[in-house]
Amino acid sequence: MTNSIVPGSTAITDAEFAQFQKLIYSIAGISMSDAKKTLLVGRLNKRLRQFNFGSFAEYHRYVTSGSDPMELELMVDLLTTNETYFFREEKHFDFLRTVLAKHPRGRPFDIWSAASSTGEEIYTLCMVLSDMLGVDAGWSVTGSDISNSVLKVAAAGVYSLERARGLPPEYLRKYCLKGVRSQEGMFVIDKRLRAHTRFLRINLNEKLPEIGPFDVIFLRNVMIYFDQETKRKVVARLVQKLRPQGYFIVGHSETLNGINEELKAVHPTIYRKP
């Protein structure tokens, strides 16, 4: 048996870590590798101290007891939140511009960011849509995530100026407002863009709600945490929400080869529904 120790924290045993691996897989379909042990310890240690638990086994018993569903949700938030940034993997947005340039004026255009995290991807999409179709045109962006806490950040649309890296200066000027007083050092996404968005808590590992259909679905940098069978099930669910001739976009380190036969590759990481 080995322990994983972060300075000033409670150690976790292999058996305890295996309990959390099984739990997060059952809830979110995420396969947490052994290399994530230090990350888990770092993110959950404050929760152990909050409840004065002396071991991860005690905390696991508590969150699985059913007595505190809010704590279980918080645990999932802590273990599934991933960093993102504006215009991440920019070639996808360049491709979207080519699609929008051919889109008939006056026809709605709807996008789903299916693992939207804190919202940078959503507002990047909004800026591109506004730039290509007009800020008052009939387009929409739906953002979803398993974490309520990141959805709250996304819905607020308020970010530190440090998060502006990757944002073209003209977009920063056009679509972002500099924070004042209590929001000094921050910037706020223009309410005209936020008016085109909605945010939903969706667990991609479960039956999807009645949403869509969408012209484009972004599912980027999340499948790397799924095993092959979970990938197949998740993609099959999402494809049902995609319009015919719609596009399905995954992260640059991901592929749908061997996962879905319905979608046809048009570029690396970009697929189309017949």
145 catalytic per annotation? yes
Q: Which of 14, 34, 43, 110 is catalytic?
A: 43
Model pLDDT, residue 8:
54
Give backbone dihedrals phi and psi of 61, rounded to 5 degrees, phi first.
-60, -40
Angle between helix 37-51 and 69-80 (nearest 10) = 150
DSSP secondary structure string for all residues of 79-107: HH-----TTTTTHHHHHHHHHHHTSPTTS
Q: Which of 110, 145, 190, 215 is catalytic?
A: 145
User: What gap in Å lies between CA 25 and CA 39, rounded to an integer?
Assistant: 16
Which one-letter DSSP state was computed for residue 224?
Answer: G
User: What gap in Å lies between CA 55 and CA 13, rounded to an integer?
Assistant: 9
Instruction: Please count the CA atoms within 13 angstroms of the CA of 105 that sit on its side-chain side.
Output: 5
Domain residue spans of the chain = 3-80, 91-272
CATH 3.40.50.150 matches 91-272:
yes
Model pLDDT, residue 7:
46
Which CATH entry fits the domain spanning 3-80: 3.40.50.1110, 2.60.40.1220, 3.40.50.300, 1.10.155.10? 1.10.155.10
User: What gap in Å lies between CA 160 and CA 139, rounded to an integer?
Assistant: 27
User: What gap in Å lies between CA 153 and CA 155, rounded to an integer?
Assistant: 6
| Distance, C-alpha 85 to centroid of its chain | 11
Model pLDDT, residue 3:
54
Model pLDDT, residue 257:
94
The pLDDT profile of the chain, 274 residues, written as one tens digit per residue, is: 455 544 456 889 999 999 999 999 999 999 998 988 999 999 999 999 999 999 999 999 999 999 999 999 899 988 887 778 999 999 999 999 999 999 998 899 999 999 999 999 999 999 999 999 999 999 999 999 999 889 999 999 999 998 888 899 999 999 999 877 777 889 999 999 999 999 999 999 999 999 999 999 999 999 988 999 999 999 999 999 999 999 999 999 999 999 999 999 999 999 999 9
192 catalytic per annotation? no
Look up residue 216 and give its two tokens: 């484009």
User: What gap in Å lies between CA 9 and CA 268, rounded to an integer?
Assistant: 43
Asked whether the beta carbons of 193 and 130 are under 8 A apart, the reply is yes
- Token look-up 């638990």 returns 53
Q: What is the pTM of this model?
A: 0.87
